């Protein structure tokens, strides 16, 4: 309910537009750099001034192809400067950029591109084989623009070459229109692990506000002297908004292209003097193992922090980076539906004098909500919000200026409560200070004899065992208890541990009925397109479902 307070004076109303981020970066921070790694590992350097000029040219070129307000322009690209140019040029001209997740199955990509009504697509040359597998199933597509990331572009089949289009466009600034700040800027689709993927729209306003809050010192704290490496793909939740936050703050950007393995990421961090890197835990688990093998060999002293989210960052990993390599992890929680930042694990002043164990408790939590993100958790949809006591588990709900209030086409309406809060599907506790701890995704919680067992807590503990690289706990069917926990375990190279050893390692921290019935050794844990454990597959293959 809103009440109407008297208006005593009028403030200037200027809309919050991405255009401002672009123009500010190109002028005030014109010397900041954007480095892009190509598939052959060569690197291309540009400045924000270049990006501004090239975004203008891209907008001219797209306008000449018939792109107007609201036209959907898709991208099928790795992280690089042309993708950044699309991130700004498309929304600033009033059109909508739609990032396609190149890890999805071609049938899903076809569904999503049709659903979004994509008319133009920017495709990396290296991804043309993937594009060829679904292009014919998207009748709305009128123009294909190929980004020559891996060599010259063949235009004989009607494809256009990105660089040629830019070179032929007028070299004058594009007259960026005044837009409604609530206009759609970007569409991202959820990965649809249950049901069809759903489209989430980010507006200019939500993107600008999200960038401002992300830049705050006590959230992600980006600054003009930072060098930011988004390992998280730009096709996933806008690379956590980092490209926009970098433009806003004048921080330089380093894009990894397709090289996302730990050794390549480490080399890029060293060579480009990265200060802030961001990605899902898998990458950093790999990096930590590499650094542990060769302590002191690689100079990562410039790294101020590594932002980790997407799945739970294990406490042992956070401690390992800090104690053995002096790298501070910033653990954050977010969702595609949130543009995506929701909470950040930041030590409040009174905790900075606390002992290492108490600090780790907080640093390994998903953190407290960032400004403007409101949270509560519920046991039942119609029930009252649960107490913030750090113990009571319930489903996390949220609302805020960058929290979606619908999906494209009003699908999945049951994800919102009657009073308009978004139901995250994450089961959490919230403590007195607002620190959230995810105990599970609602669908992954193990329900044994009517009690809930947190798969995330068990995984975290398993990953603190010296022989374990990764662990995923999932529910197996059980006649007596309904479900019982089973752990899939990947051991570090040359290391092993017996089931009894692993069970003993857990027994000191958990009640007996929480301990996994079985351990399944694997070379690799199956993952979703966004790098999360694919527990549905584990359940099917090893859980008797
Ligand atoms: P997708 O479903 O496409 O993988 P999202 O990135 O939107 O997409 O996934 C959001 C979900 O990821 C959250 O609901 C939560 O379950 C999980 N998640 C995100 N960050 C964290 C984190 N720091 N710790 C634990 N889980 C996380």
pLDDT in tens, the chain (545 residues): 567 777 777 777 899 999 999 999 999 999 999 999 999 999 999 999 999 999 999 999 999 999 999 999 999 999 999 999 999 999 999 999 999 999 888 999 999 999 999 999 999 999 999 999 999 999 999 999 999 999 999 999 999 999 999 999 999 999 999 999 999 999 999 976 667 899 999 999 999 999 999 999 999 999 999 999 999 999 999 999 999 999 999 999 999 999 999 999 999 999 999 999 999 998 999 999 999 998 889 999 999 999 999 989 999 999 999 999 999 999 999 999 999 999 999 999 999 999 999 999 999 999 999 999 999 999 888 899 999 999 998 999 999 999 999 999 999 999 999 999 999 999 999 999 999 999 988 888 898 887 888 899 999 999 999 999 999 999 999 988 899 999 999 999 999 999 999 999 999 889 899 999 999 999 999 998 888 899 989 999 999 88
Query: Ligand 1 centroid vs 238 CA: distance in angstroms?
Result: 14
**Which of 200, 311, 332, 526 should be mutated for ligand 1, with most atoms under 8 A from CB?**
311
What does each C-alpha distance from 396 to 84, 135, 174, 381, 433 come to in angstroms? 33, 38, 43, 11, 16
**CB of 276 within 8 A of CB of 229?**
yes
Q: Percent of the chain beyond pLDDT 90? A: 86
The response to whether residue 282 sits with its C-beta less than 6 Å from ligand 1 reads no
Query: Ligand 1 centroid vs 310 CA: distance in angstroms?
Result: 4
At 450, is the secondary structure helix, strand, or coil? coil
**CB of 416 within 8 A of CB of 422?**
yes
* All domains in the chain, ordered by first residue: 18-219 (3.40.50.12780), 446-542 (3.30.300.30)
**CB of 363 within 8 A of CB of 345?**
yes
- The whole-model pTM stands at 0.91
**Which of 192, 314, 333 should be mutated for ligand 1, with most atoms under 8 A from CB?**
333
Query: Ligand 1 centroid vs 438 CA: distance in angstroms?
Result: 10
- What is the tens place of the pLDDT at every residue in 203-225? 999 999 999 999 999 999 999 99
**C-alpha triplet 308, 361, 238: angle, nearest 5°:** 20
Catalogue the active-site residues.
190, 337, 447, 452
Q: How many CB atoms lie within 10 A of CB 178?
A: 10
CA-nearest residue, atom 1 of ligand 1: 191
What does each C-alpha distance from 113 to 60, 97, 110, 341, 491 come to in angstroms? 24, 12, 5, 25, 39
């Amino acid at each position: 309910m809103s009440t109407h307070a008297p208006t005593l004076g009028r403030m200037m109303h200027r809309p919050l537009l991405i255009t401002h981020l672009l123009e500010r970066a190109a002028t005030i921070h014109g010397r900041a750099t954007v480095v892009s790694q190509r598939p052959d590992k060569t690197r291309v350097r540009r400045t924000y001034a270049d990006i501004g000029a090239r975004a203008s040219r891209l907008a001219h070129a797209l306008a000449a192809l018939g792109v107007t307000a609201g036209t959907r322009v898709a991208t099928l690209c790795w992280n690089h400067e042309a993708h950044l140019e699309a991130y700004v040029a498309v929304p600033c001209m009033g059109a909508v950029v739609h990032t396609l997740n190149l890890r999805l199955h071609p049938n899903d990509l076809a569904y999503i591109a049709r659903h979004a009504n994509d008319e133009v697509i920017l495709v990396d040359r290296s991804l043309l084989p993937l594009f060829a597998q679904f292009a014919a199933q998207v009748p709305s597509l009128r123009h294909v623009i190929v980004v020559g990331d891996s060599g010259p572009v063949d235009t004989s089949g009607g494809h256009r070459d990105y660089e040629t289009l830019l070179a032929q466009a007028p070299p004058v600034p594009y007259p960026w229109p005044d837009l409604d700040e609530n206009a759609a800027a970007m569409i991202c689709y959820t990965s649809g692990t249950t049901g069809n993927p759903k489209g989430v729209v980010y507006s200019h306003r939500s993107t600008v506000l999200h960038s401002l809050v992300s830049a705050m010192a006590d959230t992600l704290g980006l600054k003009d002297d930072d060098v930011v490496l988004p390992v998280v793909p730009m096709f996933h939740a806008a690379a956590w908004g980092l490209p926009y936050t970098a433009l806003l703050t004048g921080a330089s950007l380093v894009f990894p292209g397709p090289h996302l393995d730990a050794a390549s990421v480490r080399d890029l961090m060293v060579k480009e003097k990265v200060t802030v890197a961001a990605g899902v835990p898998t990458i950093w688990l790999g990096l930590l193992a590499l650094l542990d093998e060769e302590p002191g060999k690689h100079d990562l002293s410039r790294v101020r922090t590594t932002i980790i989210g997407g799945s739970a960052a294990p406490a042992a990993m956070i401690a390992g980076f800090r104690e053995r390599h002096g790298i501070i992890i910033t653990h954050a929680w977010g969702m595609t539906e949130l543009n995506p930042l929701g909470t950040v694990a930041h030590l409040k002043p009174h905790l900075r004098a606390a002992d290492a164990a108490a600090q780790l408790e907080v640093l390994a939590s998903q953190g407290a909500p960032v400004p403007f993100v409101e949270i509560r958790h519920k046991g039942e949809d119609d029930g009252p919000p649960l107490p913030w006591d750090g113990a009571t588990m319930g489903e996390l709900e949220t609302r805020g200026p960058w929290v979606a209030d619908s999906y494209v086409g009003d699908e999945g309406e049951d994800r919102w409560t009657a009073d308009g809060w978004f139901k995250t599907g994450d089961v959490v506790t919230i403590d007195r200070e607002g620190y959230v701890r995810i105990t599970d995704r609602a669908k992954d919680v193990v329900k044994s004899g009517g009690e809930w067992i947190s798969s995330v807590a068990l995984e975290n503990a398993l990953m603190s065992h010296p022989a374990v690289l990764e662990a995923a706990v999932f529910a197996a069917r059980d006649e007596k208890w309904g479900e019982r926990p089973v752990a899939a375990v990947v051991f570090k190279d040359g290391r092993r541990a017996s089931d009894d050893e692993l069970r003993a390692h857990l027994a000191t921290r958990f009640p007996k009925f929480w301990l996994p019935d079985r351990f399944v050794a694997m070379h690799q844990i199956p993952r979703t397109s966004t790098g999360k454990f694919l527990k549905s597959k584990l359940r099917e293959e090893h859980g008797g479902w």
